[in-house]
Amino acid sequence: MSWITTNIRFPEEMYMGLKIEAAKQRKSVASLIREKIQKKDAVNTSGNTLLKNLARVAADNATTMKSKRLSKLLIQMRYEQ
């Protein structure tokens, strides 16, 4: 199996929660995240379920992001320190 390395940004509270959970299970944060993604993929195998979830997220974003430009927010998030 070949591996790919990537960077992911988490809110500080979420990251600390993952660190604590990983420490309790004596695992790395990376392995914990991989396990969670695999479990999530196994549960969400239905295309309709995925589309429904995507529609829900889009609707939530539309209400919270009124008059905000997503591209501008993404650039700010990328370069904030």
Predicted TM-score (pTM) above 0.95: no
Question: Does residue 1 belong to any structural domain of this protein?
Answer: no
Question: Does residue 4 belong to any structural domain of this protein?
Answer: no
Does residue 42 carry a pLDDT above 90?
A: no
Which residue range is the domain that position 52 belongs to?
Answer: 12-79
Based on the structure, what is the number of domains in the chain?
Answer: 1
Concatenating the DSSP letter of every residue in the chain gives -----------HHHHHHHHHHHHHTT--HHHHHHHHHHHHHHH---HHHHHHHHHHHHHHHHHHTTT--HHHHHHHHHH--
* Spatial CB neighbours of 35, under 8 Å, sequence gap ≥ 6: 27
Question: Does residue 5 belong to any structural domain of this protein?
Answer: no
Does residue 81 carry a pLDDT above 60?
A: no
Does residue 38 carry a pLDDT above 60?
A: yes
Question: Does residue 7 belong to any structural domain of this protein?
Answer: no
Question: Does residue 36 belong to any structural domain of this protein?
Answer: yes
Question: Does residue 44 belong to any structural domain of this protein?
Answer: yes
